[in-house]
């Protein structure tokens, strides 16, 4: 066996290993109870709607941080959020700026909703709001 053949066999084995390992991992980008689907503008702009994981954030920050200091109204879709405001450091952009949390070039971590779904709070553990993208923040992709 030449070293080239050995290398390519090793490559195939490694690839199969990765595929098998991935098959056993829970899928990323799944909506959970209490997630907020925000779709005031996304669909119209040809983007997937945004899935905001409320509980994920609620266990990390006090309500006041977002609903008083950052001015988020407690209503699904009740804030006129757009990318200009986010880039200016408002709403999600107060944290998703590469300092408090990963920054906004990670479009497909926020825009994971199913196209066409209305703004809503996710109440059922069986209904699926998202499509799986499985993407990680850019800084973590090496």
Residue 105 engages ligand HEC in binding (rule: CB under 6 A)? yes
Q: Is 138 among the residues that bind ligand HEC (CB under 6 A)?
A: no
Contact indicator for 79, 90 with CB cutoff of 8 Å: no
Q: Stretches 5-13, 14-22, 45-53, 125-133: which one binds ligand HEC (CB under 6 A)?
A: 45-53
Among 70, 90, 128, 133, binds ligand HEC (CB under 6 A): 70
CB–CB of 28/134 below 8 Å? yes
CA–CA gap between residue 51 and residue 35 (Å, rounded): 7
Q: What is the DSSP letter of 101?
A: B
| 8 A C-beta contact, residue 48 and residue 115 | yes
Closest CB to ligand HEC among 11 and 71?
71
Instruction: Give the DSSP per-residue string, 99-115.
Output: SSB--TT-HHHH--BPT
- d(C-alpha 9, C-alpha 119), whole Å: 49
The one among 18, 67, 88, 89 contacting ligand HEC by CB under 6 A: 67
Interface ranges with ligand HEC (CB under 6 A): 34, 36, 38-42, 45, 47, 49-50, 52-54, 56-58, 60-61, 63, 65-67, 70, 72, 74-79, 81-84, 86, 91-92, 94-96, 100-102, 104-107, 109-111, 121
């Amino acid at each position: 066996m030449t070293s080239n053949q050995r290398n390519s066999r090793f490559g195939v084995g490694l690839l199969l290993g990765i595929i098998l390992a991935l098959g056993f991992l829970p899928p990323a980008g799944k909506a959970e109870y209490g997630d907020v689907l925000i779709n005031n503008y996304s669909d119209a702009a040809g983007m997937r709607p945004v899935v905001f994981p409320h509980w994920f954030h609620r266990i990390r920050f006090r309500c006041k941080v977002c609903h008083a200091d950052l001015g988020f109204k407690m209503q699904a879709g009740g804030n006129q959020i757009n990318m200009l405001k986010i880039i200016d450091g408002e709403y999600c952009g107060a944290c998703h700026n590469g300092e408090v949390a990963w920054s906004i070039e990670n479009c497909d971590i926020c825009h994971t909703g199913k196209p066409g779904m209305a703004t809503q709070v996710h109440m059922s553990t069986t209904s699926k709001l998202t499509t799986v993208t499985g993407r990680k923040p850019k800084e973590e992709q090496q």
